[in-house]
């Protein structure tokens, strides 16, 4: 709840022309916007364009959003998703290469056993699309709330808890199947 009040203050400050308010919004939601673009499969370059477009649109509409919309995180996540889908659409139209598989590949295998984080990232990459996407957005720091997550993924808010539980369960199952006990690695 406290964070929400902070966001409201940041929006008010930014709308009044205070760049510190704006920087605070970037700090709070920068990873959410980026993670949303990457979750939808955009390359680093495409993700950079979509992320900047999303922030430019917020700058343009801050005055309108200030009064009518106190959930800037939801607006940002939704805009980042829509622009990511637009980017994917133009990629097909340009018949460009389909881009690298996202999220980014962890370092290639070496003779030494990979770090637990590397294994975990590989398992995430190989999840079914909807779970890979959900967990990629959910791993933004600071974490999105349920409404932001729903907006980033185009889910109903009411469906988020069950989807999250199912995807974490699938993830844990796959980790276990390659011999990693996900809940006790860093003890």
Partner 1 sequence: MVNPADAQLLDELRRAASQFDPPPPAVIEAARSSFTWRTIDAELAALVFDSGVDRPVTALRGGEGPRLMTFSSSGLDIEVEVANLGSRRQLVGQLVPPQAADIDVRHAAGTTTIQADQLGRFRADAIGSGPVSLRCRLAATPSGPPVVTEWVPL
Footprint of partner 1 (CB under 8 A): 14, 19, 22-23, 26, 30-31, 33-35, 38, 44, 47-53, 55-63, 83, 85-87, 89-90, 92-95, 103-104, 106, 116-118, 120-121, 124, 135-136, 138-141, 143, 164-165, 168, 171-172, 182-183, 185-186
* Alpha helices, H only, the chain: 2-15, 19-39, 44-68, 72-93, 116-125, 129-138, 146-153, 160-177
Q: What angle do CA 146, 152, 156 make, to 5 degrees?
A: 55
- Considering the complex, state which of residue 5 and residue 173 has its C-beta at the smaller distance from partner 1: 173
- Considering the complex, state which of residue 5 and residue 56 has its C-beta at the smaller distance from partner 1: 56
Residue 101 zone, left/alpha/beta (φ > 0; ψ -120 to 50; rest): beta
Q: How far is the CB of 176 from partner 1 (least distance, A)?
A: 12
Query: Can you tell me which residue has the tokens 């370059």?
Result: 45
Q: How far is the CB of 81 from partner 1 (least distance, A)?
A: 13
Burial (Cβ within 10 Å: 0-12, 13-18, ≥19) of residue 23: middle
- Considering the complex, state which of residue 38 and residue 133 has its C-beta at the smaller distance from partner 1: 38
Q: How far is the CB of 114 from partner 1 (least distance, A)?
A: 12
Q: How far is the CB of 111 from partner 1 (least distance, A)?
A: 20
Burial (Cβ within 10 Å: 0-12, 13-18, ≥19) of residue 49: middle
Q: Which of 98, 87, 102 is nearest to 135 (CA)?
A: 102
- Considering the complex, state which of residue 144 and residue 155 has its C-beta at the smaller distance from partner 1: 144
Q: What angle do CA 136, 78, 53 make, to 5 degrees?
A: 95
Q: How far is the CB of 113 from partner 1 (least distance, A)?
A: 16
């Amino acid at each position: 709840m406290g964070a929400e009040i902070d966001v409201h203050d940041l929006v008010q400050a930014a709308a009044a022309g205070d760049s510190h308010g704006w920087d605070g919004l970037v700090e709070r939601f920068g990873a959410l916007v980026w993670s949303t673009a990457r979750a939808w499969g955009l390359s680093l370059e495409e993700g950079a364009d979509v992320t900047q477009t999303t922030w430019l649109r917020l700058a343009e509409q801050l005055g309108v959003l200030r009064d009518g919309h106190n959930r800037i995180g939801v607006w940002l996540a939704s805009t980042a998703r829509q622009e990511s889908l637009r980017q994917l659409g133009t990629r097909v139209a340009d018949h460009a290469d389909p881009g690298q598989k996202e999220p980014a590949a962890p370092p290639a295998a070496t003779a030494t056993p990979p770090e637990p984080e590397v294994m975990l990232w590989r398992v995430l990459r190989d999840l079914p699309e909807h779970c890979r996407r959900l967990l990629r957005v959910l791993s933004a720091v600071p974490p999105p709330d349920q409404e932001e997550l729903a907006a980033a993924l185009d889910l109903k808010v009411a469906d988020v808890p069950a989807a999250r539980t199912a995807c974490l369960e699938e993830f844990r199952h796959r980790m276990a199947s390659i011999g990693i006990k996900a809940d006790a690695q860093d003890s």
